[in-house]
Each structure stands twice: as structure tokens, then as C-alpha cells.
């Protein structure tokens, strides 16, 4: 018996559809009101940093930590922006561990298109939770990733842990 793997949210990405607004998707998310956060899977934002669920995740609960400044180079962030980004990255890692208990994490940046950055003009950190066996033959043989949970469900599960993550209290 064959099984069907559903990932309907990826069709927009595959077809290269516009997100419905002009400009940088991260800058758009930065300007959202709190009432719009859940629609775009935004957890929190402050004057310098934004925390969102990756719309095209590598694994379940793949998060992005994004500075508000639209820069592609880490060295272009000022001291306050850099420190804020680092502090929120650290806090988010702590909360992700509490929320979903991953066995490991990949954390990093892809700076520049040749380094794998999908949105090279606006730097951002990736937090990718990992579990033993979370990656199998599907990406290699079938060019397909298997996501165990819909994005909305992942967002709702993480929200209590991340909704005020950008406060530096």
C-alpha cells in the first residue's frame, strides 16, 4: 500500500508565486501589527529583531531570527542590533529546547547566495531542530522532505514559549 505525503503549503514556493506584496519578505514581516502575527507565523518582534517560523522549513519547527535592518552582511549591523540579535538567538534556543525537546540543533547563517542563502539581501539566523532519524531516504531518492506536522500546528505549539521572546527583560 502506498502512502501519500501532503505538503500543500510548498506549492507557492515551487510555482514561484509572489507573496502578495512588493519588496523584502522579511521587511514586510517586520512591519506587521501584533494582530497579523499568527497569519504570517511571527512569534515576536521588537525594535531590532523578529522571530518567525520558516515557511519552507528544512525540519519541523525551523525558525528564523531576523534583524530589522535590511542588510546582507553581518558587519553592517550596528553594535546594538548585533547584540540584540545574539541575545534573542540565545533565548530562542533555550525556549525551543523547552518546547519540543530536540536531540540537537543546527544554528547558523548562510551569507550570500553562493553560501545557500535563499534571501541573500537580508541576513538571518536559522534554528533547525534535529532528531535522530528526522532525515531519511526521501530527500535523496524522491526529492521530497517529509514534515511531520502542519505549520499552523507547529506555530501553535511553539507560541506559548516564543510569544514574548524579543523582550530583553
Catalytic residue among 41, 62, 124, 126: 124
**Active-site residue, 124 included:** yes
Cell reading at 80: 546594538
List the beta bridge partners of residue 76: none
Beta-strand pair 63-67/104-108: unpaired
Alpha-carbon distance 163 to 169, whole Å? 14
Cell reading at 114: 553562493
Percent of residues in the chain assigned helix, strand, coil, to nearest 5:
40, 15, 45
φ, ψ for residue 109, nearest 5 deg? -125, 145
Catalytic residues: 124
Amino acid at each position: 500500500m502506498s502512502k501519500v505525503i501532503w505538503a500543500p503549503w510548498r506549492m507557492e514556493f515551487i510555482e514561484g508565486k509572489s507573496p502578495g506584496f512588493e519588496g523584502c519578505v522579511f521587511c514586510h514581516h517586520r512591519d506587521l501589527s501584533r494582530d497579523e502575527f499568527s497569519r504570517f507565523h511571527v512569534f515576536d518582534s521588537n525594535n531590532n529583531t523578529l522571530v518567525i517560523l520558516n515557511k519552507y522549513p528544512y525540519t519541523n519547527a525551523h525558525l528564523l531570527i531576523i534583524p530589522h535592518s535590511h542588510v546582507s552582511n553581518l558587519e553592517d549591523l550596528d553594535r546594538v542590533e548585533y547584540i540584540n540579535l545574539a541575545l534573542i538567538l540565545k533565548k530562542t534556543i533555550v525556549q525551543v529546547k523547552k518546547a519540543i525537546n530536540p536531540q540537537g540543533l543546527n544554528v547558523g547563517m548562510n551569507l550570500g547566495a553562493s553560501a545557500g542563502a535563499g534571501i541573500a539581501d537580508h541576513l538571518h539566523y536559522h534554528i533547525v531542530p534535529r532528531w535522530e532519524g528526522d532525515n531519511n531516504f526521501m530527500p535523496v531518492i524522491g526529492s521530497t522532505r517529509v514534515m511531520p506536522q502542519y505549520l499552523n500546528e507547529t506555530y501553535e505549539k511553539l507560541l506559548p514559549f516564543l510569544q514574548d521572546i524579543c523582550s530583553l527583560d
